[in-house]
Amino acid sequence: MNFVSSQFPLWLLALSWMAAVLLLLRAALRVPWFALSQSAITGWLGATVAALLFWQMKANIQPGLSFHLIGATALTLIAGRDRALLGLAAALAIDTGFGHADWGAFGLSWLITAALPCLLTQALLRLAQTRLPLNYFVYIFLNAFAAAALSMWLVGLLTCGLLATFGPYTFDFLLTEQLPYYFLMGWPEAFTTGTNLALLVIYRPQWVVTFDDAKYLAD
């Protein structure tokens, strides 16, 4: 999921860098830094470190092709969209500093691996909160399990699409040899996210900013 800059045109890398910087600046300006509680900071930093650890347990197949759990859905539910975007940017920067990713493709990697899953998770959360009952099981199975699986599948589709369009791999190769693995990776992503969120909202609900006992457990 960490792209190689040599596989993409310079204009795409430049545009992705600019989009990433603008989105990160917007996210940083929207975070109420001085109003964050200790529990909110603990949950945010802990989930960011967990995502970074997930990214270290990866399988590198070929240049630009690797598989690992993302953790974006869990981080979004725990810390909210804006802090999740910043946390995943920090995790990707550390991962890149370790030499596991390419600075030239940092913006593109962040947009696909971090921003899109965070935005999808936030959209599903808003949909559930406005159209469905505020129910614990809706939160866990739709906003955690389903959102995590859909995020992994979306990342896989866009990764294969970009590599087929600009990279050295053919569409047939990606369709038969890579895309099915992203589909399989959706299940451990969903299980890990759903299980951890189910435990957190029971034992540490103060760490999960998108979960409110008064709303989800009132009835």
The domain ranges of the chain are: 5-214
3-state secondary structure the chain: CCCCHHHCCHHHHHHHHHHHHHHHHHHHHHCCHHHCCHHHHHHHHHHHHHHHHHHHCCEEEECCEEECCCCHHHHHHHHCHHHHHHHHHHHHHHHHHCCCCCHHHHHHHHHHHHHHHHHHHHHHHHHHHHHCCCCHHHHHHHHHHHHHHHHHHHHHHHHHHHHHHHCCCCHHHHHHHCHHHHHHHHHHHHHHHHHHHHHHHHHCHHHCCCCCHHHHCCC
* Structure confidence at residue 93 (pLDDT): 94
**What is the CATH architecture assignment of 5-214?**
Orthogonal Bundle (1.10)
Answer with the residue of higher pLDDT: 65 or 187. 187
pLDDT tens by residue, 78-113 = 999 999 999 999 999 999 988 877 899 999 999 999
pLDDT tens by residue, 140-175 = 999 999 999 999 999 999 999 998 898 778 888 888
Task: Give this prediction's pTM.
Answer: 0.92
